[in-house]
Amino acid sequence: MPRADDIRGQALEVARGWSPPGAPRSWRLTAALFDAIAAHDELLQRLAAVPADRLPALLASAAVAFLVRRDRPVLLAGYFPEPGADQPPFDDGFFPAFRAFCSARLDDIADVCRTQRYQMNEVARSSQIALGIAATAGAPGDPVALIDLGTGAGLGLQLDRYRYRIGTGTYGPAAAGLTLACEVRGPVVPPPAQLPPIAWRTGVDVHPVDVADPAARAWLLACAPPEASALSRLAAAMEIGRRHPETIISGDVVDVLHPVLGGVPPGLRIVVVDAYTAVFLAQQRRVRLAGILAEAGRTRPVTWLSLDPLVPLGPSGRDSVQGLPVPPALVRDYQDGGVFAVLGARTFAGADDRGRLLARAHPSGGWVEWLGP
């Protein structure tokens, strides 16, 4: 079980990572929400009863957003955006309104945290994943099989149904119901995000989410950052998922991976994607995951594409979840400036096991910085 101070540190780290200095003003509410959670001692004491693997700080943010949207408390509701609407103005009145709401509703917040699991489905990360697949998928035009670990609502299985504006390039179907924008930072230009044909796809999640269920959609919106564009793109992605349902296997991502790999049709290169999933696995489970992929790679190429923060989870993170070398300067930036993800690729082909870090990336898909040619 976590200590209150541990949860406080997690909340402050998330606040720094999502809304660092220079971030758009629309992200101010997200940072303020986690800052306010970190400052509310009674709430932190309640959250200390939530197991650490259920991400108490993030779960609390979702519980507050869920209750605010459902019950519309007068002083607080006006700060929270709705899908398709503009970001409401933010001012320092948020903090006393938050304190008053949380103090009055501690039991309700604790009840939501006890009965729900945090389900972050940030579809904007698909831009970063698309770049990783394009950079590692092999010969252009060759079809691939896509396995999305920790897929949640399955939004990551819809990669080829989104349109992307990445830097100065535009990719994907012109008639897509959702366009995702991603800023390119740094001196290195990433490869074009030209996705190969996805001939077979399935997802794995301990608790799959049915986007056809209104209650499930309401909880997913609560788990999204309270930022107008994040909510609007999530709503659009859920509609695409509702119209194009894909197979999602219920189970632990490590325990069921072997049979899932065995069900992939022959002749397809396999791309296994994990976005903010492996970071929550114990180290021995990550080793087991790599071993299963290496075994499958003896008969055909298998690429593990990971978009995860460094481990251990928290401000002391220093290692890649894939065991890839991390430059010391990147570790310093991570520990000093707040959480971000690293995009890594590890490919198993016969006896070969090759990997490298591709990029660093904003946790909500806002930017990507390519690390090499």
Are 149 and 105 members of one domain? no
What sign has the CA pseudo-torsion 127, 227, 17, 37? negative
What's the N-to-C CA distance of the chain in angstroms?
A: 43
Q: Which residues of 15-28 are buried (b: 16+ CB within 10 A; e: fewer)?
A: bbbbbeeebeebbb
180 and 106, same structural domain? no
In a domain, 219, yes or no: no
CB 65 within 8 A of CB 119: no
Give the whole-angstrom CA distance, residue 259 versus residue 238.
28
**84 and 148 both lie in a single domain:** no
Long-range contacts from 239-244, C-beta under 8 angstroms, 24+ separation:
239/177, 240/155, 240/158, 240/161, 240/162, 240/177, 240/178, 241/153, 241/154, 241/155, 241/157, 241/158, 241/211, 242/211, 242/212, 244/158, 244/161
Is 216 contained in some domain? Answer: no
Q: Is position 120 within any domain?
A: no
User: The pTM is what?
Assistant: 0.87
63 inside domain: yes
Are the CB atoms for 321 and 332 separated by under 8 Å? no
Same domain flag for 138 and 233: yes
Give Cα 222 distance to the centre of its chain: 14
Q: Residue 92 belongs to what domain range? A: 4-115
Question: Within this chain, do residues 270 and 362 fall inside the same structural domain, yes or no?
Answer: yes
Mean pLDDT by 10 residues, the chain (373 residues): 88 83 88 97 96 92 97 96 94 97 97 92 94 88 95 96 97 96 95 95 94 93 93 95 96 97 96 95 96 97 97 89 96 87 97 96 91 80
Which of 224, 238, 265, 220 is closest to 156 using CA atoms? Answer: 238
Interval 212-222: pLDDT, tens: 999 999 999 99
Cα angle 324-135-371, degrees, rounded to a multiple of 5: 50
**CA-closest candidate to residue 145, choices 61, 333, 271:** 271
Residue finishing a domain among 85, 115, 145: 115
Q: Is 202 found in the same domain as 287? A: yes
Rg from Cα positions in the chain? 20
In a shared domain, residues 258 and 158: yes
Tokens of residue 188, six digits: 């290195």
pLDDT at 72: 96
Residues 90 and 185 grouped into a single domain: no
95, 115, 135 - which closes a domain: 115
**CATH number assigned to the domain comprising residue 267:** 3.40.50
Q: Is 14 exposed, middle or buried (0-12, 13-18, 19+ CB in 10 A)?
A: buried
Give the tens place of pLDDT for each residue, 139-178: 778 999 999 999 999 999 999 999 999 999 999 999 999 9
Chain mean position to CA 182: 15
- Residue 233 vs residues 178, 222, 227, 332: alpha-carbon distances, Å: 7, 14, 10, 32
Mapping DSSP onto H, E and C, the string for 163-216 reads: EEEECCEEECCCCCCCEEEEEEECCCCCCCCCCCCEEEEEEEECCCCCCCCHHH
Identify the domain boundary among 61, 81, 115.
Answer: 115
Q: Report the number of distinct structural domains present in the chain.
A: 2
Same domain, 45 and 155: no
For residues 295 and 158, state if they share a domain: yes
Domain membership of residue 218 (yes or no) is no
Looking at the fold, whether 253 and 276 belong to one and the same domain comes out as yes
